[in-house]
Structure formats: C-alpha cells, structure tokens
Amino acid sequence: MARLPLLDDSDRPDLVPLATRIREQRGGRLLNLYRVLMHSPTVAEAWLTFFTAIRQRCELSARARELAILQVALLNDAQYEFEQHVPFARAAGVTDAQFEALGDWQASTEFPPEDRAVLAYSTAMTRHIRVPDDVFAAVRAHFPPAQVVELTATIGGYNLVSRFLEALQVDHE
C-alpha cells in the first residue's frame, strides 16, 4: 500500500487541469505514480514534461530506451516500473527470449552488440554511477552524441522513477 494517499481530480478540483494533461499524455490513464505525484503539482508538472520528452520526443530508439528502463528497474528491484514497461519493450521488439535472459544478459547470446552496450551502460550508471571508459566507448560506437545524451538522461531519469516508486511504496494499478 502506498505510503501517501492516491489522489484523483475528483478529490481536488484544483488538480483537474493537471490530471487532464496527464491523461492526455499517458493514454487516457491516471497511473498511481501520478496520483502520488499530484500531492505536489509543481513536481508532477515537471515530471510529466521531462518524461514526456524522454518517452515521446527523443531520437533514441524505443528499443534502446525500453531496454535501459527495464535494466534500471530490474537492478533497482522496482517491479511496478518493470511491469509498466514490458508492453512498450515488446512493442519495440524485445523478444520473450530476451526478457528471460535480461537478468544475466552478459552470459546470453540473445542480445546484439548495440543492446549489450545499452545494458552495460545502464548497469554501470545504476550500480556505480561512474561509467568505465570501455563501457562508454561501446555506447559511443552505436549512438551519435544527441542519442548518448538521451540514453544517459533516460537511465538517470528512470533511476529517479524507481527510487520514487520504491521509497513511497506506490502500488500497481
């Protein structure tokens, strides 16, 4: 059970414009994550803007983005985050075999070099913060500078998401 009440715009009429924007940008749904975030409309607005940019306006491929998000969620034991992104990852081409291999991707032959670079970078940023030169070089070999920035922001941002979800024990829908 979430550590804070889940808000809805029916609870607070002042939240109607924000909740409407969230629904518009998130497929008509007001996820529990946003129902907690709305306790601070300022943070919820900034969150929505940032993650809409990451998910909908970047050049980075959906596959790279979703693999990074899944890896962050897996490493942080953030089940809500992981489960929310499974459909997006499937739509981006992640296979059942790759889902099964994700926990031990280093030993797997299921991931091509670009995926392996994304997973290594996600792991390094999440576990150690500082990224070894060889891990960065592998990412740089597959992505132009703008996409390196987008991948880095995605990994950093979704580490925030998992920490927020887990600290406040936000429940699944």
Tens digit of pLDDT for each residue in 7-36?
Answer: 988 878 999 999 999 999 988 989 999 999
**Among 6-15, 34-43, 101-110, 120-129, which is the least confidently predicted range?**
6-15
What separation in angstroms does the CA of 29 have from each of 45, 102, 139, 161?
A: 16, 28, 34, 18
For 61-93, write each residue's pLDDT tens digit. Answer: 999 999 999 999 999 999 999 999 999 999 999
Task: Look over the chain and give the mean of its residue pLDDT values, rounded to a whole number.
Answer: 96
